[in-house]
Amino acid sequence: MLRRALQLGLGRGLLGRRLGTHRGGSTLDQNGKMSEIKKKIQSVLPGGAWNPPYDTSYLPPEHSDVVIVGGGVIGLSVAYWLKRLEKPRGAIRVLVVERDHTYSQASTALSVGGIRQQFSVPENIQLSLFSVEFLRNINEYLAVVDDPPLDIQFNPSGYLLLASEKGAAVMESNVKVQRQEGAKVCLMSPEQLRNKFPWINTEGVALASYGMEYEGWFDPWCLLQGLRRKVQSMGVLFCHGEVTRFVSSSSHTETTSGEEVTLKRIHEVHVKIDRSLEYQPVECALVINAAGAWSGQIAELAGVGKGPPGTLQGTKLPVERRKRYVYLWHCPQGPGLETPFVVDASGAYFRREGLGNNYLGGCSPTEEEEPDPGNLEVDHDFFQDKVWPPLAQRVPAFETLKVRSAWAGYYDYNTFDQNGVVGPHPLVVNMYFATGFSGHGLQQAPAVGRAVAEMVLDGHFQTINLNPFHFSRFYLGEKVQEHNII
């Protein structure tokens, strides 16, 4: 700065002198010019005030229309649909901020990968049906010219949900709803079950519902990479960093009943670069919270829930991290190729993995037994005590098995009603949520992405109406309870 001021001063001085003098002041002129040139060269070389060779390509842009916090399957799906539905092409600049590019703790990568329509809430069924159609035509949706087609390794084997006497009536009414929405589910009696799957022990089973089509499991990593590749080709920017702060402004208005309401608007997102103290403030118009298991923290940063409890300002986002274990075991006499994704009435589940008599399975713990979500360490005693006994009782062949490996992953668990939160926050007007799916986020990701993109671009949902999943239900106490949570 000082150098530039000196230069300007020198320049003006030279000009002033030139106007007033004849050829007499030439030596002074030469010295002045040389020093000026020297100063200019010094500023261009490294170490000077202006350094163009300094690489800033790892920093996110200074302005972005939409900032998506979280680069998992939901975040990438929102980015994809935003780019696909925008008019005109290239109108919106989208930035995806992902803290961990190896996805080592992301729920997407650690997921078992199942997709089903056997839910009790109609919106969940519709979301899942659309996602199945997306996965089936994935090479039309996510085609990138000159790149090989995706193979998500879908197993169309279906889900088999078992119900005891207590749950049989609920299962029947659920199946009715599912059939109304277009799912292909059939109800089976214990005898039909024994005929179809002779390896099942039907003691204690009153009714079973079996998905004939559109259900199964697939490779979530492939979907993630496919989305990533397509989204990059559409021009979405990625940043390897963490959101640490939101800079927002508030305005006070009155509601029709005379209450004072504080509306907040986020202006900037501070993105801290990985393994560094450097951060970049990104000016944005919208923020989409797709941070999965960490959405609660992001919401707190934005000021959601800062207020007296019992009011809308004081309603926090009830999404927290819950750890779930998945075990892989080998059972030589186990069920064969036709094994569906079996979910026992007790909550324990398993599915076939590959051709070598390997099975993946687990169980959701009860509220009292919830493990500490601080790390992703596996508790093998949980398998011995809670997973193996019900599965061995249901499938007698599982009495002899050997656990090959196990891992743990997070559910972005919605403690209110175990269903997703989709849509804008009523008070922080430009933060949109797409989180809280409690274990069925992967199978709903394509549809949720589309819904959020419609909400952002058109202001309302067009294909699937997700108004029941709005944030305000936490304040109003209207639960959209999902009964079939695995």
Partner 1 sequence: MGLGKTKPLHLVMPVWNRGTRGIRGLSRAVALEGSQKKGRSLLQFLADRFYDVQALREYLLQKQVLKVHQKNRPFTYIKERFGPHAAGAYFILKQGGAVKFQGKEWIRSDAHGHFSLDFLKFQAVPVEAVNASGCAINYQGLDSLLALKELRSLWLQRCPHVDDWCLGRLHPLANSLQELSLAGCPRISERGLASLHHLQNLRRLDISDLHAVSNPGLTRILVEEMLPSCQVLGADWAQGLPSGPDEQSQDKASPIPA
Q: Would you say 225 or 297 has its CB closer to partner 1?
A: 225
Q: Would you say 48 or 336 has its CB closer to partner 1?
A: 336
Best CA proximity match to 315, nearest among 410, 460, 421: 421
Indicate the length of the chain as a whole number.
486
Smallest gap from residue 137 Cβ to partner 1 (A): 9
Binding site for partner 1 (CB under 8 A): 57-58, 101, 136, 140, 143-148, 153-158, 212-213, 216, 228-229, 232-233, 235, 237-240, 336-338, 352, 355-356
Which residue is it, tokens 């929102």? 78
Smallest gap from residue 154 Cβ to partner 1 (A): 6
Q: Would you say 96 or 480 has its CB closer to partner 1?
A: 96
Smallest gap from residue 212 Cβ to partner 1 (A): 6
Smallest gap from residue 403 Cβ to partner 1 (A): 22
Smallest gap from residue 234 Cβ to partner 1 (A): 9
The whole-angstrom separation of Cα 271 and Cα 237 is: 14
Handedness of CA 437, 442, 447, 450 (dihedral sign): positive
Q: Would you say 132 or 312 has its CB closer to partner 1?
A: 132
Q: Would you say 77 or 155 has its CB closer to partner 1?
A: 155
Q: Which residues pair with 197 in a beta bridge?
A: none
Q: Would you say 103 or 349 has its CB closer to partner 1?
A: 103
| Biggest alpha carbon–alpha carbon distance for the chain | 116
Which residue type does 396 have? Answer: P
The whole-angstrom separation of Cα 314 and Cα 294 is: 19
Smallest gap from residue 138 Cβ to partner 1 (A): 11
Inter-residue contact 420 to 437 (CB < 8 Å): yes
Q: Would you say 339 or 430 has its CB closer to partner 1?
A: 339
Smallest gap from residue 286 Cβ to partner 1 (A): 20
Smallest gap from residue 351 Cβ to partner 1 (A): 11
Q: Would you say 179 or 267 has its CB closer to partner 1?
A: 179
Q: Would you say 214 or 413 has its CB closer to partner 1?
A: 214
Q: Would you say 144 or 177 has its CB closer to partner 1?
A: 144
Smallest gap from residue 244 Cβ to partner 1 (A): 18
Give the β-pairing of 207-211 and 185-188.
antiparallel
- CA distances to 326, 328, 403, 426, 428 from 387, rounded to whole Å, are 10, 12, 12, 41, 42
Record the tokens describing residue 69, joined without a space.
């916090």
Smallest gap from residue 105 Cβ to partner 1 (A): 18
Smallest gap from residue 331 Cβ to partner 1 (A): 14
The whole-angstrom separation of Cα 458 and Cα 452 is: 10
Q: Would you say 12 or 89 has its CB closer to partner 1?
A: 89
